[in-house]
Amino acid sequence: MNLAAPVEIALRRITPQDNAAIARVIREVSAEYGLTADKGYTVADPNLDELYQVYSQPGHAYWVVEVDGEVVGGGGVAPLTCSEPDICELQKMYFLPVVRGKGLAKRLALQAMDFAREKDFKRCYLETTAFLTEAIALYERLGFEHISEPLGCTGHVDCEVRMIKSL
């Protein structure tokens, strides 16, 4: 895929037909960064192949990024489990190399936070790992602040970077 040529980029809500494509993206990016299932990363999620169904629940939303009809990334937001009801979690933000650095992750994160505000969430939490430096830099630019202790019960045992933002 050559983004130098004219392309059609779409950021849209996930559909049932996107399940396999976004699961493939998440698995590819996870393998690229060594984010293995045994360490509690997203590839261990038993619902990875059913993200449409997961994010169709109230207070949940997931968007995919398409380039010329091919799913190349995505991200979502959902209530943070085992936590205060006004906290949501930015989740499953994964992008193939071809679209990194194009502003699409920022656009998706802003859309997710707008959705969260509409659903009356007051804070947005996320977890990531220290070697995802580009992602951490984006979250910092978006106003997320580092916190020392985890919130909720995400099961991400190796996500040592925790951040939160007031909405």
Decide if pLDDT at 7 tops 90: no
Q: What is the pLDDT of residue 103?
A: 94
All residues at 6 or more sequence positions from 116 whose CB lies less than 8 Å from its CB, including other chains = 77, 88, 124, 167
Residue 11's pLDDT is 96
Per-residue pLDDT tens digits for 73-101: 999 999 998 888 999 999 999 999 999 99
List the single range of 4-8, 26-30, 41-45, 154-158 with lowest mean pLDDT. 41-45
Q: Confidence band (pLDDT; 50, 70, 90) for 135? A: very high
21-63 pLDDT, tens digit each: 999 999 999 889 887 666 556 656 778 999 999 999 999 999 9
pLDDT band at 14 (very low <50, low <70, confident <90, very high): very high
Looking at residue 154, what is its pLDDT? 77
CA distance 132 to 111: 21
Q: Which domains does the chain have, with CATH numbers?
A: 9-121 (3.40.630.30)
Sign of CA dihedral 75, 76, 80, 81: negative
How far apart are alpha carbons 150 and 68 in whole angstroms? Answer: 38
- State the Cα–Cα distance between residues 19 and 6, nearest whole angstrom: 26
Whether the Cβ atoms of residue 97 and residue 43 lie closer than 8 Å to each other: no
- Secondary structure letter of residue 83 according to DSSP: S
pLDDT band, residue 159 (cuts 50/70/90): confident
Q: Which residue stretches of 5-153 are H helix?
A: 19-33, 51-54, 104-118, 133-141
Question: Of 118, 108, 119, nearest to 79 (Cα)?
Answer: 119
* pLDDT top residue among 70 and 36: 70
In total, the chain counts a number of residues equal to: 167
